[in-house]
Amino acid sequence: MYILGISAFYHDSASCLISNGKIIAAAQEERFTRKKHDSGFPKNSISYCLDEANIDPKKLDYIVFYEKPFLKFERLLETYLAFAPKGFKSFSASMPIWIKEKLFQKVMLINSLKEIFKNEIELEDKILFSEHHLSHAASAFYPSPFESAAVLTMDGVGEWTTTSLALGRGSELEVLKEIHFPHSLGLLYSAFTYYTGFRVNSGEYKIMGLAPYGKPVYVDAIKNNLIQINDDGSFNLNMHYFDYCTGLTMTNKNFNKLFGGPPRKPESEITQKEMDLAASIQAIAEEVVLKLAKDIQKNTNEKNLCLAGGVALNCVANGILLKEKIFENIWIQPAAGDAGGSLGAALTIWYKMLKNTRELPANPSKMNGAYLGPSYQNEEVKLLLDSCGATYHQYDKKELIELVAQQLSQEKAVGWMRGRMEFGPRALGNRSIIGDPRSPKMQKQLNLKVKYRESFRPFAPSVLREHVSNWFDLDVDSPYMLLVANVLKEKCYEMSEEDNSLFGIEKLNIPRSDIPAITHIDYSARVQTVHSETNPTYHSLINKFYEITGCPVLVNTSFNVRGEPIVCSPEDAFKCFMGTELDLLVIEDFVLLKNEQNQNLKEDYKDKYKLD
């Protein structure tokens, strides 16, 4: 039996295909359209999923959407009525779209699917709808390695729910408690994202990265004015300070007055104020998450916890949750945001509706390391490289690993594309830019010369799972780069009085450990453990680097530049390589050196790339 899950029309559209409960394929639409956070109907992703399974659309038994549009419409309508007439501006902007399109989403889905499937199948009886937070919870629990677990989901808002506490046992998944709109930890965090000058629904992780540069001096102001946090983790927001219910922005003039001025203009200088605001809202988020986790553990007596929803991508909070040992084991869905809702929706039908027996995975989870996207054969890669006029070399695996590890040890920045693309927002060693973490200049070089992004942004380490506890204060699996842990003290350098007196981002230039390129200013790192079972080639590369250098760690950041999705195809990878200052590109068994490429070709691609 084949079930297609779809997430669309808000942000991070995606689709997922499962067969008899097994995940066959999953991918975000943005990777194909090259439009970051693409919210459109995921026609390319759906086509990919069917191609990967090598099936005809007629083989699909069910097609399930990740939320219920009528419930969402109800929430919008009731919100506008509750805040009338204040919300008329937002109401008048959104209602025509809802009445014309979104309210009749089933018709939209059918018409869009008919276009892809060329009217080959009858769709009316195959289309089903899950609920937003149930889809999140299902994506967290069903692929997890646990027979039973507490499940916590947190995001901006689904239909009505913003936070849910659930219990999973076997094939059963029951929601025990919910917090409803407009009270939302995700939207509170997004309000600070907006106020500090970053883009909502994509800039939240920048706030998390900026937080260590500041001090949580605004925590009391937030607690006294914006949010009431109860002992069980439930919370209420004071809507006097927010505009997302009634207007077209996240915050209002009362919020501005409370924090001493209007929002920072995007791309303007980041000041200590923004750093302190980031540190403060991060502290609030951590407090809420810890209290919610303690309450659900007390009420369920579970030793395992599963996490999903956009807030579950806050790996700093996840790391603190792990250290508190509220639960013995934590498992986080790698596509924790709305993209993962497509997976959860499909699994909800297979287990919850159809009552199929759930078998625990032999591996750490059923996610196949999150490597669920497209892969490319050497023949396809060669055709592309020839058509582009590229200069390249082809190697067998052993030669390739040796060459790239040597280049990495010489501080070369490498674009690395091998195997199936990752599902979710993190590059996990198949669509990655990698480098030497021992290099004091690597972090700044990658940010400014390759990623073209803010210099304060930290990079993550990929570390051999068998060596993780020798370098980090962590000894559990973290395959999806969703846990933050400190670099071990014996690997760290003590800061001088002069170093500690530096202001904000000036602190970035001071090496803090034996692996400065991945050590944040608070000595933390967003750790990815690399396992030989799920990614043998990437594991072999790091192991070879370890043999050469004595360091079982690589810098790993997503293979893209600022504002662009992670690369999907060989063409995307070549374009990014030629348009940036990467030294080396690996696509499957092919290696390209930048200094061997035609100079005119380099300039041409660089100009095109920066215009896109």
Residue 198 lies in a domain: yes
Q: Is the pLDDT of residue 60 over 80?
A: yes
Same domain, 305 and 344: no
Same domain, 307 and 217: yes
Same domain, 6 and 108: yes
Please choose, from the candidates 309, 259, 307, 311, the residue with its C-alpha nearest in 3D space to the C-alpha of residue 285. 311
From 300, 331, 362, give the residue that closes a domain: 331
Per-residue confidence at 364, pLDDT binned at 50, 70, 90?
confident
Same domain, 409 and 504: yes
Range of the domain at 422: 378-611
Strands 60-65 and 2-7: parallel
CA 251 and chain centroid, separation: 25
Q: Is the pLDDT of residue 90 over 60?
A: no
Q: Is the pLDDT of residue 41 over 90?
A: yes
Same domain, 436 and 584: yes
Q: Beta strands of 192-322 (E only): which ranges?
A: 227-229, 235-237, 304-308
Q: Read off φ and ψ for residue 174, nearest 5 degrees.
A: -125, 125
The CATH number of the domain where 567 resides is what?
3.90.870.20
Tell me how many domains the chain contains.
3
pTM exceeds 0.95: no
The CATH number of the domain where 221 resides is what?
3.30.420.40
Give start and end residues of each alpha helix (H) in 267-338. Answer: 272-300, 315-323
Strands 414-417 and 393-394: unpaired
Same domain, 279 and 413: no
Residue 165 lies in a domain: no
For residues 605 and 543, the model is more confident at 543
Residue 173 lies in a domain: no
In one-letter notation, the amino acid at residue 152 is: L
Same domain, 278 and 395: no
Q: Identify whether the C-beta of residue 321 lies closer than 8 Å to the C-beta of residue 289.
A: yes
d(CA 13, CA 335): 12
Which residue do the tokens 């989870």 mark? 365
Q: Is the pLDDT of residue 393 over 80?
A: yes
Same domain, 557 and 448: yes
Q: Is the pLDDT of residue 29 over 50?
A: yes
Give pLDDT tens digits for 506-521: 777 788 999 999 999 8
Same domain, 432 and 304: no
Which residue do the tokens 């990437």 mark? 538
Same domain, 416 and 271: no
Same domain, 188 and 107: no
Can you give the pLDDT at residue 69?
A: 67
Can you give the pLDDT at residue 96?
A: 53
Q: Beta strands of 181-242 (E only): which ranges?
A: 227-229, 235-237
Same domain, 57 and 191: no
At 445, which helix (H) or strand (E)?
Answer: helix 442-445
Residue 175 lies in a domain: no
